[in-house]
């Protein structure tokens, strides 16, 4: 596990378990800084490569200190949110008194009835879809629930309701076998409605990242004879730096080369990659882990808005020799009136995200809350 330094191109490789290698390049930018009387200062930039995907990101922890000119000091997240919650709550389609009157109903061919209701979770078709099968589910009956108060039980209900939908869609057409389970929370995450809700989609083809995860995991298995995800858990556990939480059901780490800010990766350790095969107990454990991770990001990283995706294997198949169900959660800007977005040209057009916190520091600040 000792880093191998190759000073010529500043590449540093840390070997993990199996075929896993954590690769980074370290370079220093030199500027005469007005903040230091125009003395020459160096800023470290780390280029990090994901051990599985050909995905690079960059870390410069000093970026968090930059001035955001649009922000004004008297902007309060809570005051702004309270105001928005009150206004939007008066005409919310997802609140219990409107949800059954104003949201779409499932088509008869799915045999699901009008909507799927699991206690405080109601699932129905999205009104404006981007998938042949695209449903929205409300998390709780309250118009607004903070991220850290969406309960494990509510997440369990959402998982169970989603399983029912995924099964019905698959039974109606066995080619539609690629589901995903997703969550945008608050407008900085692109959520247009404040009432907490998940979005699930199911297609004849996997999403780009799902496909890459499945294919590259299979390739890793062929090359190394072991499961990448279990090797990743072993590696992160041994290295300790990014390791966050672990139990028999699931492991969480701070992502080595992230897609977004404060990113956590969760790995379900079950030998099932088809979510529809989860038992009620497994749905309960999964719900508990999701609620723990969101609460830990809320407490440890001041997360108020997030995106989450759960990457699933195809329905009707078990890919557990090479793949595990994986969760990614990233935080988004705080919702104040003039916030600065966190996705710019590097993230959107170059697909090379900039991290303002080292994954190792993220792990330290969230693990105490798990």
Q: Are strands 250-254 and 197-203 parallel, antiparallel or unpaired?
A: unpaired
Asked if residues 55 and 24 have their Cβ atoms less than 8 Å apart, the reply is no
Within the chain, where are the H helices? 77-89, 96-102, 152-172, 208-224, 228-239, 280-301, 345-348, 359-367
Return the structure tokens found at 236. 């992160």
- Please select the residue that binds Zn ion; options are 20, 59, 81, 95, rule is CB under 5 A: 95
**By rule CB under 5 A, what string of x and - marks binding of each residue 44-83 to Zn ion?**
----------------------------------------
Q: Is 195 in the site for Zn ion (CB under 5 A)?
A: yes
Q: Which of the residues 135 through 194 are near Zn ion (CB under 5 A)?
A: 143
Q: Count CB-CB contacts under 10 A for residue 285.
A: 20
Q: Which is nearer to Zn ion, 142 or 340 (CB)?
A: 142
Q: Which is nearer to Zn ion, 49 or 143 (CB)?
A: 143
Question: Least distance (Å) from Zn ion to the CB of residue 143?
Answer: 3
The number of angstroms, rounded, from the C-alpha of 38 to the middle of its chain's C-alpha atoms is 41
Q: What is the DSSP string of 118-148?
A: ETTEEEEE-SS-SSSEEEEEEESSSS---GG
Q: In sequence order, what are the beta bridge partners of 48? A: 24, 57
Q: Which is nearer to Zn ion, 85 or 364 (CB)?
A: 85
- Please select the residue that binds Zn ion; options are 20, 52, 59, 92, rule is CB under 5 A: 92
Question: Least distance (Å) from Zn ion to the CB of residue 297?
Answer: 23
Question: Least distance (Å) from Zn ion to the CB of residue 106?
Answer: 21
**By rule CB under 5 A, what string of x and - marks binding of each residue 311-350 to Zn ion?**
----------------------------------------
Backbone phi, psi, residue 81, to 5°? -65, -45
List CB contacts of 214: < 8 A, sequence separation 6 or more: 206, 313, 314, 319, 323
Q: Which is nearer to Zn ion, 95 or 150 (CB)?
A: 95
On the 0-12 / 13-18 / 19+ scale of CB atoms within 10 A, 137 is buried
Q: Which of the residues 97 through 136 are near Zn ion (CB under 5 A)?
A: none
Q: Which is nearer to Zn ion, 24 or 143 (CB)?
A: 143
Measure the CA–CA gap between 83 and 77, rounded to whole angstroms.
10
Q: Which is nearer to Zn ion, 167 or 195 (CB)?
A: 195
Q: Which of 31-39, 92-100, 101-109, 309-317 is the region at the interface with Zn ion (rule: CB under 5 A)?
A: 92-100
Asked if residues 179 and 166 have their Cβ atoms less than 8 Å apart, the reply is yes
Nearest residue to the partner Zn ion, using Cβ? 92
Question: Least distance (Å) from Zn ion to the CB of residue 87?
Answer: 12
Q: Which of 11-19, 95-103, 175-183, 329-337 is the region at the interface with Zn ion (rule: CB under 5 A)?
A: 95-103
Question: Least distance (Å) from Zn ion to the CB of residue 33?
Answer: 48
Question: Least distance (Å) from Zn ion to the CB of residue 137?
Answer: 13
Within 180-279, where are the H helices? 208-224, 228-239
Return the closest-CA partner of residue 254 out of 365, 359, 108.
359
3-class SS of residue 38: coil
Q: Which is nearer to Zn ion, 189 or 262 (CB)?
A: 189
Measure the CA–CA gap between 229 and 320, rounded to whole angstroms.
10
Question: Least distance (Å) from Zn ion to the CB of residue 195?
Answer: 3
**Residue owning tokens 């290295």:** 239
Q: Which of the residues 229 through 258 are near Zn ion (CB under 5 A)?
A: none
Question: Least distance (Å) from Zn ion to the CB of residue 284?
Answer: 25
Question: Least distance (Å) from Zn ion to the CB of residue 136?
Answer: 12
The number of angstroms, rounded, from the C-alpha of 6 to the middle of its chain's C-alpha atoms is 33
Residues that bind Zn ion (CB under 5 A): 92, 94-95, 143, 195
């Amino acid at each position: 596990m000792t880093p191998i330094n190759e000073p010529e191109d500043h590449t540093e490789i840390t070997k993990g378990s199996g075929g896993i290698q954590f690769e980074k390049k370290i370079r220093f930018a030199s500027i005469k800084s007005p903040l230091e009387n125009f003395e020459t200062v160096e800023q470290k930039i780390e280029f990090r490569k994901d051990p599985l995907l050909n995905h690079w990101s960059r870390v410069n922890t000093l970026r968090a200190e930059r001035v955001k000119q649009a922000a004004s000091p008297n902007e309060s997240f809570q005051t702004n949110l309270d105001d928005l919650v009150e206004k939007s709550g008066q005409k919310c389609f997802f609140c219990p008194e409107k949800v059954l009157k104003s949201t779409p109903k499932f088509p008869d061919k799915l045999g699901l009835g009008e909507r799927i209701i699991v206690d405080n979770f109601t699932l129905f078709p999205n009104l404006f879809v981007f998938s042949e099968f695209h449903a929205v589910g409300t998390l709780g009956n309250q118009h607004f629930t903070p991220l850290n108060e969406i309960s494990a039980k509510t997440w369990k209900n959402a998982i169970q309701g989603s399983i029912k939908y995924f099964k019905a869609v698959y039974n109606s057409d066995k080619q539609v076998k690629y589901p995903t389970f997703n969550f945008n929370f608050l407008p900085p995450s692109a959520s247009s409605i404040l009432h907490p809700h998940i979005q699930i989609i199911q297609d004849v083809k996997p999403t780009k990242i799902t496909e890459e995860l499945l294919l590259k995991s299979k390739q890793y298995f062929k090359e190394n004879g072991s499961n990448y995800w279990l090797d990743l858990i072993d590696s992160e556990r041994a290295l300790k730096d990014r390791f966050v939480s672990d139990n028999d059901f699931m492991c969480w780490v701070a992502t080595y080369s992230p897609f977004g800010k404060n990113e956590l990766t969760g790995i379900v350790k079950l030998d099932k990659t088809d979510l529809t095969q989860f038992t009620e107990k497994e749905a309960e454990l999964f719900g508990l882990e999701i609620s723990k991770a969101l609460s830990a990001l809320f407490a440890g990283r001041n997360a108020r808005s997030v995106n989450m995706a759960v990457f699933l294997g195809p329905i009707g198949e078990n890919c557990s020799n090479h793949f595990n169900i994986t969760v990614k959660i990233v935080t988004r800007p705080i919702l104040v009136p003039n916030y600065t977005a966190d996705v710019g040209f590097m993230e959107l057009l170059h697909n090379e995200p900039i991290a303002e916190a080292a994954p190792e520091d993220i792990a330290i600040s969230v693990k105490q809350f798990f």
